[in-house]
Structure 1
């Protein structure tokens, strides 16, 4: 009974580890910072839902540039001059973004964004 319980716990731990590895592979990646400088290209999906496409340059914490293309599904465009922290995945592109205050943007990236 004890061996069976240990085996079950080991199986759960291995399953959790495999799930986290898949999540990181599919959605994780380096962070880039950008500043919204345009209104974005507006379009509709045919069902009345608005979306805005952006093509901006993002910078990592060392100031290395990368062209970022992403779509935001909202009723209005993102606020101009707002800073965003974005997670870039080489397989899926931008998988996550969040607005951050300028003080949270690394100095090298902030210098490039001015």
Structure 2
């Protein structure tokens, strides 16, 4: 009986752990960017009449070594100008997720470029 309770607890912990992992960030390259204004705003009207906006940003981003790359990504809300983001990128140009970071958290080569 104790064996089955132990197996059940371990199984529950594994399931909870797997569901809490953000798969959009694991194994991705990171780029750093300082947000400027949105390049474009895409509006979509839903069936119920609500309007959904996607803000499109195209700008220069930097690798941890300071190499510059052009990147395009979208956000469901307008991002704060001047904010620093860590972008999670797969296949060289597809942004899967992002986090706001403080200037002090940026790698030194990136700070020198921004």
Considering the TM-score relative to the shorter chain, is it more than 0.5?
A: yes
Number of residues of Structure 1 aligned to a counterpart in Structure 2: 107
- Which residue matches 1:33? 32
Aligned partners of 2:12 and 2:107: how far apart in 1? 38
Unpaired segments ≥5 residues, structure 1: none
- Which residue matches 2:105? 104
Relative distance call for 1:79 and 1:9 in structure 2 (3 A) is closer
Q: 1:69, 1:94 within 8 Å by CA — same for their partners in 2?
A: no
RMSD: 2.8
- Which residue matches 1:67? 70
Relative distance call for 1:79 and 1:6 in structure 2 (3 A) is closer
Aligned partners of 1:11 and 1:32: how far apart in 2? 36
Give the structure-2-normalised TM-score.
0.68
Aligned partners of 2:80 and 2:17: how far apart in 1? 38
Runs of 4+ with deviation above 6 angstroms: none
